[in-house]
Amino acid sequence: MSNRNIKILSFITLVAVFALLPLVLSTYRLGLVTSALILAMLAMSANLLLGYLGLASVGQATFFGVAAYAVAIFTRHWGGASWSAMGVGLLAALATGLVVGPLAIRTRDIFFLVIMLAFCQIFYGVTYRWRSVTGGDDGLPGLARPDLIPGLNLNSPVAFYGLVVLIFLLVIGAFWLLVNSPLGLALKGIKDSETRMRALGYNVWLYKYLTFLISALIGGISGVLHAYFYGCPNPADFSLIHSSSALLMVILGGPGTLFGPLVGSLIIVFVRDIVSSFTDRWLIFLGLAYVCTVLFFPAGLLVTLRKWRKDAR
């Protein structure tokens, strides 16, 4: 079977699994899967920068949080839940990317990393202090979900799960098309050697900027869904835990792969659920997960497991 057929087959299997899950899982577990899918999209936005430009962003939560707040503020001030709020959320994330991007992509390596960290914290600080608009650390509770189609309310967990799955599949499909398009190939070239691509006549800056914007948009999609899922954006949306978890999920699953972020986010979300059922101090376990990933699966779980299987043969 050709590589392409395998991809299509695994995609169909994935859709089938997603369709069956609501029949098998309890509402609570379905919520966990929903949450993992949302975070997987945040991880994908980090993966785009990391796997295809070689830039580690410790600030993806910037777009996530901005989109979440934009949805809630728009819904609050312009009366009632509506689909347009989602659009506003995405536009807000994109606008943030437009402004932050030129500053961030000027830098490389460690400087990119600390700059994204700093920007994320600016937004955290602003949302924390600007009480009149953002509600400070109380957040903006009571965000209502719009009707999926007239009559079918998204408040049902299964309907919301369905929407998230649909959007996730669209995003992952678009991601696949993107990285296999001429743009994606140019990105791989840039990752290998920026100088060479520049010599070939590519406008490297523009490619990087575009990628940054797409990454901001994917992060925004994740943030919008997150806002609806919890119904209450709060400053913690900008937290370092979100930003760094996105990176952890990518590494855990395998950077530069299509399904790596999903595998990573499922692991983290379920491990978090199990650990927090017996202790409040689950960050210790998250920290241990970081350390163990680095020590035992530095190339990503999928890649390492594949290697082990090969060695066993």
Partner 1 sequence: MEFWIIQTLNALSFAMLLFLLCAGLSLIFGLMNILNLAHGSCYLIGAYVAFSVDNWSGNFFLGLLSGAVAAGAVGYILQRFLLRRVYGLRLLQVLLTFGCMFIIGDLAIIIWGADPTTLRKPEWLEGAFNMGGIVFPKYRLFVIAVGLFIGIGLWLFQEKTKWGAILRASVDDEQMARAVGINVPVLFTTVFVLGVALTGLSGVLGGPFVGVYPGVDLDVLLLAVVVIIVGGLGSMKGAFFGSIIVAALDNFGKALFPELAMFTIFAPMAIILALKPTGLWGRVL
Looking at 13, 15, 98, 111, which residue binds partner 1 (CB under 8 A)? 111
Residue 295 interacting with partner 1 (CB under 8 A)? yes
Looking at 49, 186, 247, 301, which residue binds partner 1 (CB under 8 A)? 247
Residue 125 interacting with partner 1 (CB under 8 A)? yes
Looking at 37, 190, 251, 266, which residue binds partner 1 (CB under 8 A)? 251
Judged by beta carbon, residue 167 or residue 216, the one nearer partner 1 is 216
Residue 274 interacting with partner 1 (CB under 8 A)? no
Stretch of 80-88, 183-191, 193-201, 281-289 lying at the interface with partner 1 (CB under 8 A) = 281-289
Stretch of 73-81, 194-202, 256-264, 291-299 lying at the interface with partner 1 (CB under 8 A) = 291-299
Q: How far is the CB of 83 from partner 1 (least distance, A)?
A: 33
CA separation for the pair 94, 189 (Å, rounded): 25
Residue 118 interacting with partner 1 (CB under 8 A)? yes
Token pair, residue 32, equals 């966990």
Judged by beta carbon, residue 34 or residue 215, the one nearer partner 1 is 215
Looking at 32, 81, 91, 126, which residue binds partner 1 (CB under 8 A)? 126
* Binding positions for partner 1, rule: CB under 8 A: 50, 56, 58, 102-103, 106-111, 113-115, 117-118, 121-122, 125-126, 129, 240-241, 244, 247-248, 251, 281, 283-284, 286-291, 293-295, 298
